[in-house]
């Protein structure tokens, strides 16, 4: 098993910079030991890393499978909800609710860049009572 800390990745994502020369140079430097180890599968173990998946994939090459811990957690949650009989039936559409314990405007702006306009309805956490 090989692991690597990737300081700087989070900061790039939180600035909304998920591509470009600077991100590529950092990824090449940080992932060099992982490439040298010859891994065939790379777990993206941080919630920020899937936003850099294209760059990480380009650095690691086509023979390395990227696994998003976020996706795998969602799949496990879906399976568990199914076991408990709590999945939505048919074509019912769910709703999203976004909460931020930090600066709501900053979260909304960055979230909208990364996830889409549905973050327009972000509220402050904890909610007023």
What pLDDT is attached to residue 7? Answer: 94
pLDDT (tens digit, 9 = 90+) per residue, 58-104?
999 999 999 999 899 999 999 999 999 998 888 877 778 888 988 99
Q: Residue for token digits 């496990």?
A: 76
pLDDT (tens digit, 9 = 90+) per residue, 22-53?
999 999 999 999 999 999 999 999 989 999 99
CA distance 30 to 19: 15
Domain spans, the chain: 9-71, 94-129
pLDDT (tens digit, 9 = 90+) per residue, 70-79?
899 999 999 9
What tokens appear for 40 in the block?
A: 């065939």
CA distance 4 to 97: 33
User: Taking the domain 9-71, which CATH number applies?
Assistant: 3.40.50.1860
What pLDDT is attached to residue 29? Answer: 97
CA distance 10 to 20: 15
If 0-12 CB within 10 Å is exposed, 13-18 middle and 19+ buried, where does residue 13 land?
buried
What pLDDT is attached to residue 78? Answer: 93
């Amino acid at each position: 098993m090989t692991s690597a800390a990737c300081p700087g990745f989070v900061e790039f994502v939180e600035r909304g910079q998920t591509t470009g020369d600077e991100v590529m140079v950092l990824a090449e430097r940080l992932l060099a030991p992982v490439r040298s180890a010859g891994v065939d599968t790379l777990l993206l173990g941080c919630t920020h890393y899937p936003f850099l998946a294209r760059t990480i994939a380009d650095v690691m090459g086509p023979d390395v499978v990227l696994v998003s811990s976020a996706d795998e957690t969602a799949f496990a949650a879906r399976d568990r909800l199914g076991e408990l009989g709590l999945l939505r039936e048919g074509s019912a559409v769910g709703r999203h609710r976004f909460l931020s314990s930090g600066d709501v405007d900053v979260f909304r702006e960055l979230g909208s860049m990364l996830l889409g306009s549905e973050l327009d309805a972000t509220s402050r956490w904890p909610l007023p009572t």
